[in-house]
Structure 1
Amino acid sequence: MSTATMERRPAASASTEGPLNRSIDLEFYTAGEMHAGLEEAVAELIEVAAKDASCGILVTRLRPGRYTVALDESVPFGETYEAIAA
């Protein structure tokens, strides 16, 4: 079983479509869920990043089974970086 919550932040520029998803918090209990869930979250944020082409995606492991996938301006557009929180 996995759970996922989405944190919604306002988009960088005003839009009539409403705020875009800038980060996704995920928690997994099995390796299979983790791989599929992270791939799905990255794919979702690729679509969001492509709209303004201003940043890439950062996948951060917060603790075993807990991740955040977020648009990050320090990551070049078109790239996905991984990090482990201290």
Structure 2
Amino acid sequence: MAPLLSSIDIHVTSRRALDERLEVAVKKLQDLAILTGTHGILVARNKPGHYTAGLSDQVPFGLTREVIR
């Protein structure tokens, strides 16, 4: 998997906080992705409560994918 080009780290202790922070992060990344039109968004669960959302050249533009690491 290629490294994320622009990413946002998310650390949470509740599902509600996760949903809110992921929504904000994905919106910011969508705005950034529109500028290039070449990258999608990858959301990775690194460990419980720790996530990374970022632009990835491994995800087609216009899509968001989730992975568990």
- TM-score, length of structure 1 as denominator length: 0.73
Could you list the runs of 5+ residues in structure 2 that have no partner in the other structure? Answer: none
User: 1:61-85, CA deviations, whole angstroms, 9 ceiling, x for partnerless residues?
Assistant: 0011100001000100000000000
Q: Distance in 2 between matches of 1:74 and 1:31?
A: 27
TM superposition shift of 1:54: 0.6
The structure with higher relative contact order (CA 8 Å, sep 6+) is 2
Q: Over aligned residue pairs, what C-alpha RMSD do you find? A: 0.9
Report the counterpart of residue 64 of structure 2 in structure 1: 80
User: 1:49-69, CA deviations, whole angstroms, 9 ceiling, x for partnerless residues?
Assistant: 000101100000001110000
Identity %: 40
Report the structure number with the largest CA radius of gyration.
Answer: 1
Paired residue for 1:57, among 41, 52, 58?
41
**Aligned pairs, number:** 65
Moved over 6 A (4+): none
- TM-score, length of structure 2 as denominator length: 0.91
